[in-house]
């Protein structure tokens, strides 16, 4: 093999540090594959993916197929003749793409595989109250999603102060080093032996839908707290009261007993800046919220402009 090369595939800001780290190691990136441009806002201004913006800055050719099975796209990949495909936060690749590179295709996944296979591993780890997570670099196959042989895996703790936003950034930063080191080893032929994933007792991380964002006040306070963490700051776990939809951005919980129906406002203290709400088991203390089309605000500021009194009730189906 002469000068080994890769093709990088990714779109969101999570993937940007990885592309930058690969380039900083001097690895030849023959092309970047990313999602097609989108039009945003009333003016229909064309918006590039974060990965495309970096690729253009670095002078790397960009491919933006609408369909991954497009024959013209597949022929272009073959002509580029890269040794390895490197994927971060991208689409599922068809077998016709996976079979092209001689060294295979590796993916960076934001969980400790085989647990949390799927599109939303960070969210689901927080939903379930996990105390550790990490990143995994593994070879893609055309069988089950995220089930290929593991190249490298690194763990980090999940802190009680972590939410989706903070953990997303931590794993993106950790992943860039784990991935770039793995790719360098694979291209040089010095990589260690891969590890097959176990196939039983696996926690899943399916794609999230709108119904996953709704707070069910019949859940325990701890479950609601973890749902809020797993969706904060965006897209946000929400409920409604007095006809207004409210995202809950920050909260705490305790296991105090409460005889009031779930979703009942127990306290709404403007000066101290919190709301206490009954749940199926325990009490949720809310300290930061966001109304629709408004910036996030502390609970005290929210209560100054929105009258909430003890006995009022949040809806279960906003």
Q: What is the pLDDT of residues 103-145, one digit of tens each?
A: 999 999 999 999 999 999 999 999 999 999 999 999 999 888 9
| Residues 111 and 258 grouped into a single domain | no
Rounded mean pLDDT of 14-37?
98
| Residues 139 and 39 grouped into a single domain | yes
Query: What is each CA distance from 15 to 18, 176, 213, 233, in whole angstroms?
Result: 5, 8, 25, 19
Residue finishing a domain among 154, 188, 222: 188
Task: Work out the pLDDT band at 316, boundaries 50, 70, 90.
Answer: confident
Q: Is residue 197 a part of any domain in this protein?
A: no
Burial of 114 (0-12, 13-18, 19+ CB in 10 A): buried
Burial of 187 (0-12, 13-18, 19+ CB in 10 A): buried
List CB contacts of 175: < 8 A, sequence separation 6 or more. 14, 17, 18, 88, 108, 110, 135
pLDDT given for residue 202 in this prediction: 85
Q: How far apart are CA 108 and CA 237, in angstroms?
A: 27
Rounded mean pLDDT of 246-250?
97
| Residues 44 and 102 grouped into a single domain | yes
Domain count, the chain: 2
| Residues 9 and 60 grouped into a single domain | yes
* Helices 16-24/164-188 angle, 10° precision: 30
Residue finishing a domain among 188, 222, 249: 188
Place of tokens 């960009």: 62
Task: Give the pairing of strands 62-63 and 283-291.
Answer: unpaired
Q: How far apart are CA 279 and CA 288, in angstroms?
A: 18
Whether the predicted model's global pTM rises above the 0.75 cut: yes
Q: Is residue 202 a part of any domain in this protein?
A: no
Task: Work out the pLDDT band at 200, boundaries 50, 70, 90.
Answer: confident
Adjacent-strand bridge partners of 117: 204
Starting at the edge strand found earlier in the chain, the sheet holding 105-109 runs 62-63, 28-33, 5-10, 84-88, 105-109, 132-139, 150-157
pLDDT given for residue 126 in this prediction: 98
Place of tokens 């502390």: 298
Q: Is residue 199 a part of any domain in this protein?
A: no
**Has residue 44 got a pLDDT over 80?**
no
Q: Is the dihedral of CA 15, 20, 22, 28 positive or negative?
A: positive
| Residues 124 and 234 grouped into a single domain | no
Question: What is the number of residues in the chain?
Answer: 318
| Residues 117 and 227 grouped into a single domain | no
**Has residue 4 got a pLDDT over 90?**
yes
- Alpha helix (H) residue ranges in the chain: 16-24, 50-58, 71-80, 95-98, 121-127, 164-188, 221-231, 299-305
| Residues 183 and 217 grouped into a single domain | no
- Enclosing domain of residue 277: 210-305
CATH of the domain at 60: 3.40.50.170
CATH of the domain at 227: 3.10.25.10
| Residues 55 and 178 grouped into a single domain | yes
| Residues 78 and 151 grouped into a single domain | yes
Residue finishing a domain among 139, 156, 188: 188
Q: How far apart are CA 104 and CA 308, in angstroms?
A: 58
Q: Is residue 180 a part of any domain in this protein?
A: yes
| Residues 220 and 178 grouped into a single domain | no
**Rounded to the nearest 5 degrees, what angle is found at the Cα of 55, between the Cα atoms of 134 and 116?**
20
Q: Is residue 201 a part of any domain in this protein?
A: no
pLDDT given for residue 192 in this prediction: 67
Bin 252: left if φ > 0, else alpha if -120 < ψ < 50, else beta: beta
Q: What is the DSSP letter of 131?
A: S
**Has residue 1 got a pLDDT over 70?**
no
Q: Is residue 196 a part of any domain in this protein?
A: no
pLDDT given for residue 143 in this prediction: 84
Q: Is residue 193 a part of any domain in this protein?
A: no
Place of tokens 């994927």: 87
Helix/strand/coil for 101: coil
| Residues 181 and 32 grouped into a single domain | yes
Q: Is residue 214 a part of any domain in this protein?
A: yes
| Residues 134 and 227 grouped into a single domain | no
Adjacent-strand bridge partners of 47: 38
């Amino acid at each position: 093999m002469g000068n080994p090369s890769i093709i990088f595939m990714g779109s969101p800001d999570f993937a940007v540090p990885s592309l930058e780290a690969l380039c900083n190691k001097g690895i030849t990136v023959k092309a970047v594959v990313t999602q097609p441009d989108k039009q945003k806002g009333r003016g229909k201004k064309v918006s590039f993916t974060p990965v495309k913006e970096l690729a253009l800055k670095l002078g790397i050719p960009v491919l933006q197929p609408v369909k991954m099975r497009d024959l013209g796209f597949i022929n272009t990949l073959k002509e580029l003749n890269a040794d390895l495909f490197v994927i971060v936060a991208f689409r599922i690749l068809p077998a016709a793409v996976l079979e092209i590179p001689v060294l295979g295709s590796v993916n960076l996944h934001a969980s400790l595989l085989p647990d949390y296979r799927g599109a939303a591993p960070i969210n689901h780890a927080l939903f379930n109250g996990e105390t550790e997570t990490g990143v995994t670099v593994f070879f893609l196959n055309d069988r089950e999603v995220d089930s290929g042989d593991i190249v490298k895996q690194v763990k980090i703790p999940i802190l009680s102060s972590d939410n989706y936003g903070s953990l997303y950034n931590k794993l993106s930063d950790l992943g860039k080093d784990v991935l770039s080191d793995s790719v360098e080893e694979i291209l040089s032929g010095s990589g260690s032996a891969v590890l097959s994933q176990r196939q039983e007792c696996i926690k899943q991380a399916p794609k999230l839908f709108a119904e996953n964002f709704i707070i069910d006040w019949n859940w325990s306070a701890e479950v609601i707290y973890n749902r809020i963490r797993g969706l904060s700051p965006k897209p946000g776990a929400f409920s409604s009261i007095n006809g207004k939809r409210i995202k809950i951005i920050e909260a705490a919980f305790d296991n105090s007993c409460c005889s009031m129906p779930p979703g009942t406002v127990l306290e709404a203290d403007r000066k101290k800046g919190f709301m206490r709400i009954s749940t199926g088991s325990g009490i949720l203390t809310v300290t930061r919220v966001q109304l629709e089309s408004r910036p996030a605000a502390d609970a005290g500021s929210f209560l100054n402009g929105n009258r909430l009194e003890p006995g009022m009730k949040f809806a279960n189906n906003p």
